[in-house]
Structure formats: structure tokens, C-alpha cells
Amino acid sequence: MKRINLNRSDWLLWLGWSGSAAAAGRELPCYWEYRLSKRQFGAAAAVGCVLVFASAFLFYRSVVAALVLSAAGVLAPRIQRRTLLEQRRLRLALQFKEALYSIASSLAAGRSVENAFLTAHEDLRLLYPDPSAEILVEFEIIAARMGYGESLEQALTDFSSRAQIDDISQFADVFTTCKRSGGDLVEVIRRTSQTIGEKLDVQQEIAVMVAQKRLESRIMMAVPFVFLAFLNLTAPDYMAPLYNGIGYVLLTAALILLALCFALMVKIMKIRM
């Protein structure tokens, strides 16, 4: 059997922190990964350990057991990284939709393709005042590449390879093909932006509905813990048999079932769009 050895950096990478060395090796942002800072990593791990400790102590009424189980809280940065990555990719997709509308309007007004992208950057600055907005950073990169003499097609292809978002990749492919074949670029971009915009609108509606159900699932998961805490405070004699002998077995089984239910709910609500 092949033995796999993981060092400290491998474990940190798996948990969600890529480290400063990995971050320093890349100049341009990649939207298929998210690197947690030291502060984000530490805060997520601390919150995760505290929550697991509180939940375990509520179930077992044992500091030792709670301390042992709280080690599972170090998985929180991995969950946090996945959540932040999904939010970042969704933001970029929605911002890209607005960029396409601006580009289509500029082309319809008679501007060249290159000027349309430069004008779109100015329009986007009005929509997104934060200079660190993903689409503003990318359009600044595109403008800089064109300023250095690189073609717009190459800049868009690089953007799509770093984003790895279907809508951006499709637009880059359509744009490159149309530019090379000499097609009606204005009409192609108009139809492409309309199609992508409608698709993103539907995805946004689905995301809103899923977010509502996600909130309901979290409330449902919190109810057993609140109920257990309430009974421990109001009727400790009634709950006393659970904290000796077979009671610990029942509590462990209940905790495992809750964890399985939570994993199942997360899997059900994870809709790939």
C-alpha cells in the first residue's frame, strides 16, 4: 500500500490557508481559488473551535470531552474559504453582466471595440465605488495589457482562464471567433450580453430562494441545542439520567444524526449553476 505523507504546509493548504509563499508567486488574481489571510484563518478557526466546544459541552456536560471535540473546529477555515470563494465568483459574474451591458451600449453608439472596453471601465467605476471590486481590477488589467501592445483577444482569454466561469469563457470564445472571422461584433455582443444577463438573472432568483431555505435549515439545526439547553436550565433532574452510563451513548448517537442531517441539507441545497 502506498503511504502518503503530509507535512505542515500541506495540512494548512487543505484547511484553507495557502500561505504567504504561494500567494507571493502569483501576480494576477485567480477566481477558482481563495487564499485566506492569517487573520481570516485564525478568526475562522477560533470561532469554529468555540462553537464546537459549546455544542459538545451542552451535550456531554464534560469539559474534557468538549476540549477533545473542539479540535474539529480547525475545519472551519476550509468551510469559510469555500463560502468566500462562492461569494466572490458570484460577485464577479454579476459584475461581468453589467460590464457587457456597458460594452454593448458603447458599440451601438459607434465606438471601437477597444474604446468600448475602456469606456466600460469608467461606467463600472460609477456602479462600483470600491476600487477593489473584481471587475474593476480585471478591466484595469485589460487596459494595461492593451497599453503594452497586447491584443484584446489575448487579454480576454487570459481573464477567462483565471476566472474559470462559464459565462466569461463563452464570451471570450465568441468574441475571439467573431473578431477573427470578421462577423457583426456589435450584434454578437448584444445577443451574448442579453443571453448571459437573462441566465444570471435566473441564477440570482434561484440563489435568493436557496438562501431563504438555508436560513430555515440553520434555524432547524439550532432548535435541538436550544431545547437541550432549556431543559438543562429548567429541569436538571429530568435530564440527569442522560449524563451517565447509556445516556452518553444516546447523546453521541443524537449528535451524529444531527451532523448527518446537516451534511445532507448542505448537499441538497448545493445547486451547481
pTM: 0.79
In sequence order, the 6+-apart residues with CB closer than 8 A to the CB of 247 are 241
Q: How does 237-256 read in b/e, with b if 16+ C-beta sit within 10 Å? A: eeeeebeeeeebeebeeebe
Each residue's pLDDT tens digit in the chain (273 positions)? 444 454 555 555 656 665 543 444 456 888 988 888 889 999 999 999 999 999 899 888 889 989 999 998 888 999 899 989 988 998 999 899 899 889 888 888 888 888 999 999 899 999 999 999 999 999 999 999 998 988 999 999 999 999 999 889 988 988 888 877 777 777 887 888 788 888 888 888 888 888 888 888 888 888 988 988 898 889 888 888 888 878 888 888 988 998 898 888 888 877 665
Q: Is residue 182 left, alpha or beta, with left meaning phi > 0 and alpha meaning psi from -120 to 50? A: left
CA distances for 176 relative to 135, 136, 140, angstroms: 20, 21, 20
Exposure of 113 in the CB half-sphere (CA atoms within 13 A): 19
Q: What is the DSSP string of 139-176?
A: HHHHHHHHHTT--HHHHHHHHHHHH--HHHHHHHHHHH
Exposure of 194 in the CB half-sphere (CA atoms within 13 A): 7
How do the domains of the chain map onto residue ranges?
89-203
62: buried, middle or exposed (CB in 10 Å: 19+, 13-18, 0-12)? middle
